[in-house]
């Protein structure tokens, strides 16, 4: 269980580099990053089922984590710009909903595949990520160029100073919240499976948990467009 938890840490560790990734993305073609990373992430994570050793498995998850971090460093900015300032709450709500739907369906999907075909069948799941990249390629190339690049902004030091009163308490909240979420996401299926639940039911527990989160994302985003965002 400790080794499994450490794998989760390895997968999430690259997210600490998101500010660096975002800084680099300001100087790169955002379209390329957004298009390529879903396929790359899905490929690396799907290979976990056939990794020949624990160290190779860790490398697969690390590579998938780096790819996922790159995507999440640039895609939200594009989504927010496309939504427009008046509907940014709804737009970002839909953006997060996509991720929550992945978390919702993912546990049930992987549990069903492993239960039916065995752990060696996980590489087939990379097809979903490849299909997503193909869809993004055809969708994003139709967008105006302004939606695929960052707009001019403050120097990062000045931006940090202005954001400090908000970001410090939000960061503290995010860190403490992450402890609870990581425990549930990492160990709830194992806890239920060891208590007698089938693998599919154990995976479905996370599906139910994330489905509730999806509802909260949509409702919260829509309300923030109509009410004071600080109140929400």
> 28-74: per-residue pLDDT in tens?
666 788 889 999 999 999 999 999 999 999 999 999 999 988 888 88
163 vs 169: CA distance, rounded Å: 11
Higher pLDDT, 100 or 43: 43
Report helix, strand or coil for 227.
Answer: coil
Q: Which residues contact 49 (CB under 8 A, 6 or more apart)?
A: 114, 119, 120, 121, 122, 123
Chain-centroid distance, C-alpha 131: 17
**pTM greater than 0.75:** no
81 vs 88: CA distance, rounded Å: 8
Residue 33's CB: how many other CB atoms inside 10 A?
20
Per DSSP, 127 falls in state: H
pLDDT band at 132 (very low <50, low <70, confident <90, very high): very high
Chain-centroid distance, C-alpha 16: 14
């Amino acid at each position: 269980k400790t080794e499994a938890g450490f794998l989760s840490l390895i997968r999430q560790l690259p997210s600490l580099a998101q500010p660096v990734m975002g800084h680099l993305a300001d100087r790169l073609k955002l379209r390329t990053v957004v298009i390529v990373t879903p396929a790359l992430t899905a490929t690396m994570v799907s290979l976990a089922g056939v990794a020949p050793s624990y160290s190779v498995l860790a490398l697969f998850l690390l590579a998938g984590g780096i790819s996922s971090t790159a995507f999440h460093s640039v895609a939200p900015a594009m989504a927010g710009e496309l939504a427009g300032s008046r509907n940014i709450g709804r737009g970002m709500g839909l953006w997060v909903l996509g991720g929550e739907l992945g978390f919702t369906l993912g546990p049930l999907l992987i549990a069903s595949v492993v239960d039916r075909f065995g752990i060696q069948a996980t590489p087939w799941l990379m097809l979903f990520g490849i299909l997503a990249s193909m869809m993004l390629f055809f969708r994003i190339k139709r967008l105006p160029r302004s939606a695929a690049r960052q707009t001019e902004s403050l120097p990062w030091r000045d931006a940090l100073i202005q954001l400090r009163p908000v970001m410090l308490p939000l960061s503290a909240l995010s860190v403490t919240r992450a402890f609870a979420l990581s425990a549930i996401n990492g160990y709830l299926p194992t806890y239920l499976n060891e208590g007698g639940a089938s693998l599919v039911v154990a995976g479905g527990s996370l599906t139910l948990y994330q489905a509730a989160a999806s509802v909260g994302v949509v409702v919260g985003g829509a309300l923030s467009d109509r009410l004071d965002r600080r109140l929400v």
